[in-house]
Structure 1
Amino acid sequence: MFFGTGTVACHSRLPRLSEQGRHEEVVARAGQARILPRGKAARAWARSLVALGRADEARAVLLRDFRKHAELTSLVALADLEATDGLTGLAAAHYARAASLETDPLAGRQDVCGLFRRRAARFWPRARRWRPTSTSGGWR
């Protein structure tokens, strides 16, 4: 029973170190750990990797955290990183996956809605004229 809490606690300082800007230390601690960080610690590791210019490694950390530990917040963070890097196709796919699992993490995200609208407009010209109406089901 205590073994589970001990493995999580060994990475509990990573988010604070990342916020303090000690990115090299975060990357070194996480990289040398026997048990890789998950959850908040994995996202802190990814932030530090991005700060050090290692965005591809950060994407791998976030994707692993989502796939192995079902951390939906890491999937949204991965999509945010991809959108920032200009990888809009991958970002849209990951936002859609997050929305299919649970809509709360994306609630109120106008940037995500805008991304979906821009992508829809590229493939379906009628999507540019979409306005919600009660009688037509949304299309004019």
Structure 2
Amino acid sequence: MVLPVLGGCTINHYLPRHFDFVTVVEKTEPGPDGWRAACLHVPVIHTPNLDSFVCRFGVEMPIETRVDGYISVTLAQRIAADCANEAGRIVLSAPSSPSPGLVCEQFKTKFNEILDRAVRGSMVTKSCHKKTTPTIINFNL
């Protein structure tokens, strides 16, 4: 699936399976503990001329928090996908630039804000954790 083309750029629609979370810090204590990470490489396309940029980013989320309790991998994937899709919708409705690289940076910033509101302490990082393997999302125009 592809998000609607808005503002001259488009980003793929995220599915939970795109977020291949791996445990990077084992949960060893009762209560808040542990950490997971995923890595994505996603094309951002400037639709008028088909210029593209591969947007690379990591997604990190606690395994358990005081507020949310235990977060299963399935739930973490759903939360990450929902937050990424919301960030994409917001950014593409009013991008700050037609440059795919700048749209990528704007997307990562907005995704980070939304994800941290969903699960406090979660973050979108500019690079991927060394224990992750990138999920490469192919683009379909």
**Structure in which a larger fraction of residues adopt strand:** 2
Question: Structure 2 length normalisation: TM-score?
Answer: 0.26
Q: Say which structure, 1 or 2, has more relative contact order (CA 8 Å, 6+ apart).
A: 2
**Structure in which a larger fraction of residues adopt helix:** 1
- Max radius of gyration: which structure? 1
